[in-house]
């Protein structure tokens, strides 16, 4: 008898069966995230109808208040996760502080941090955007509310990380430390179906993804890397191909499947950009866990992303992520060990 369609839920249950000590917490947590993703996906698909259905902050033809899509996505995730009984705290790129679990809900053993709708400047122009999430086991003792300490853990302590890309199809990609698996939303049944089992990133790619308009603000090492990447050299396949969507999830997803490197270095444009733009907790850590599980690498130019101990919820980090050899070459340039 051939195997039936493997939905996300079925796949997680199969995975949990391999670990008799598993409590089923992930099945519940990932189901909550998947449900939120389906709701967000549905609304992202309707975003182009905004002129017909009403702008954010207005009342639409049905008399409903319209929230901005990123605020809406945040609200959906918070409400979907808050009542499941598996979490003791959350943090979101959209909220300044820790998000507590309501008093009436039993406290769980995990915390979840997320970027509800990344690349939100691309919503208005029908370009792919995404949701990114990461889950840790709580470190504070007892079963009271979670603390900041539970959220400020280094990336290597993640027990699960994933993203949802709202693209030509909606896909959910996740890891729990045993490979990376991708599920495509079948809109006719509303189910995430296993479409990409055990994703591996090529060890070397042909693509570099960076916002080159910051060239004048970069340090010499970064400029040297880009000069090297653009220089024709048939002996090693250069020039690399430039591809930049400006949506981290979409740029990352393409490079994960095809091979390549995404770079967002620090720059001198303003003092708050010395560590770039992207956030360690909500963006860099989850994608770093995924890329390592797929055989790739993620670095801040000097250190492994997953080794950085965060000291605040919204701290930024430079990010060099993708195929292992490409990230190693970029690191050598950043550290001044290599010149074009
Ligand atoms: P956001 O969290 O406000 O959406 O910003 C994050 C996005 C990433 O998706 C993307 O990689 C980056 O910003 C693009 O920034 P830039 O416009 O500076 O190239
Ligand atoms: Mg973001």
Q: How many residues are present in the chain? A: 340
Q: Select the more confidently predicted residue: 288 or 54.
A: 288
> Does the residue 201 lie in any domain?
no
> Does the residue 1 lie in any domain?
no
| Residue 124's pLDDT band (cuts 50, 70, 90) | confident
Atom from ligand 1 closest to the CA of residue 122: 4
Give residues whose Cβ lies within 5 Å of ion ligand 2: 115, 118
Specify the number of domains making up the chain. Answer: 2
Mean pLDDT score of the chain: 92
The pLDDT tens digits of the residues spanning 205-229 come to: 999 999 999 999 999 999 999 999 9
pLDDT for the residue 13: 87
Residue 119 in contact with ligand 1 by CB distance below 6 A: yes
Residue 316 in contact with ligand 1 by CB distance below 6 A: no
Give the whole-number percent of the chain exceeding pLDDT 70: 93
Asked if the model's pLDDT at residue 54 lies above 80, the reply is no
Q: How many CB atoms within 10 Å of residue 162?
A: 27
Q: Answer yes or no: do 29 and 90 share one domain.
A: yes
The pLDDT tens digits of the residues spanning 68-115 come to: 888 899 999 999 999 999 999 999 999 999 999 999 999 999 999 999
Q: Answer yes or no: do 168 and 270 share one domain.
A: no
Provide the 3-class DSSP secondary structure of residue 317: coil
Atom 12 of ligand 1, residue of closest alpha carbon: 246
> Does the residue 127 lie in any domain?
yes
Q: Answer yes or no: do 13 and 151 share one domain.
A: yes
Q: Answer yes or no: do 145 and 97 share one domain.
A: yes
The pLDDT tens digits of the residues spanning 309-323 come to: 999 999 999 999 999
Q: Answer yes or no: do 219 and 328 share one domain.
A: yes
> Does the residue 3 lie in any domain?
no
Atom from ligand 1 closest to the CA of residue 119: 4
Residues 249-258: what's their mean pLDDT? 98
Q: Answer yes or no: do 184 and 291 share one domain.
A: no
Out of 92, 116, 119, give the residue to mutate to test ligand 1, the one with the largest number of ligand atoms within 8 Å of its CB. 119
DSSP string across 205-261: -SEEE--GGGGGGS-HHHHHHHHHHHS-BGGGTBSPEE---S-HHHHHHHHHHH--E
Provide the 3-class DSSP secondary structure of residue 257: helix
Q: If 0-12 CB within 10 Å is exposed, 13-18 middle and 19+ buried, where does residue 279 land?
A: buried
Q: Answer yes or no: do 158 and 255 share one domain.
A: no
Q: Answer yes or no: do 69 and 192 share one domain.
A: yes
Q: Answer yes or no: do 30 and 162 share one domain.
A: yes
CATH number where 231 lies: 3.40.190.80
> Does the residue 215 lie in any domain?
yes
Q: Answer yes or no: do 54 and 173 share one domain.
A: yes
Q: Answer yes or no: do 14 and 105 share one domain.
A: yes
Residue 122 in contact with ligand 1 by CB distance below 6 A: no
Structural domain span for residue 69: 8-196
pLDDT for the residue 1: 53
Report how far ligand 2's centroid is from the alpha carbon of 21 (Å).
Answer: 34
CATH number where 80 lies: 3.30.540.10
Domain end call among 174, 196, 218: 196
Q: State CA 51 to chain mean position distance.
A: 29
The pLDDT tens digits of the residues spanning 20-41 come to: 677 778 788 999 999 999 999 9
Q: Answer yes or no: do 222 and 153 share one domain.
A: no
Asked if the model's pLDDT at residue 147 lies above 60, the reply is yes
């Amino acid at each position: 008898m051939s195997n039936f369609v493997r939905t996300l839920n079925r796949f997680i249950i199969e995975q949990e069966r391999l670990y008799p000590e598993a409590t089923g917490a992930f099945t519940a947590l990932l189901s909550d995230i998947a449900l939120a993703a389906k709701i967000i996906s549905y609304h992202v698909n309707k975003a182009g109808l905004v002129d017909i259905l009403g702008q954010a902050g207005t009342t639409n033809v049905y008399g409903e208040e319209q929230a901005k899509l990123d605020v809406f996505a945040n609200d959906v995730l918070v409400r979907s996760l808050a009542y499941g009984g598996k979490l003791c705290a959350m943090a979101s790129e959209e909220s300044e502080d820790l998000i507590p679990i309501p008093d009436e809900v039993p406290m769980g053993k995990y915390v979840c941090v997320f970027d509800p709708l990344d690349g939100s400047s691309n919503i208005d122009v029908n370009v792919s955007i995404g949701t990114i999430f990461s889950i840790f086991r709580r470190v504070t003792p007892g079963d009271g509310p979670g603390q900041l300490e539970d959220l400020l853990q280094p990336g290597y302590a993640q027990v699960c990380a994933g993203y949802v890309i709202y693209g030509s199809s909606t896909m959910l990609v996740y890891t729990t430390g045993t490979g990376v698996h991708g599920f495509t939303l079948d809109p006719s049944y509303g189910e995430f179906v296993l479409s990409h089992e055990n994703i591996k990133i090529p060890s070397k790619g042909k693509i570099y993804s960076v916002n080159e308009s910051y060239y004048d603000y970069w340090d010499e090492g970064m400029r040297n890397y880009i000069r090297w990447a653009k220089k024709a050299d048939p002996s090693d396949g250069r020039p690399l191909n430039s591809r930049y969507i400006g949506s981290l999830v979409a740029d990352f997803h393409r490079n994960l499947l095809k091979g390549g490197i995404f770079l967002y270095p620090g720059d001198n444009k303003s003092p708050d950009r010395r560590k770039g733009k992207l956030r360690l907790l909500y963006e860099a850590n989850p994608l770093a866990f995924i890329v390592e599980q797929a055989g790739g690498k993620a670095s801040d130019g000097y250190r492994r992303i997953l080794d950085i101990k965060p000291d605040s919820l919204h701290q930024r980090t430079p990010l060099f992520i993708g195929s292992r050899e490409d990230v190693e070459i970029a690191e050598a340039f950043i550290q001044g060990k290599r010149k074009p």
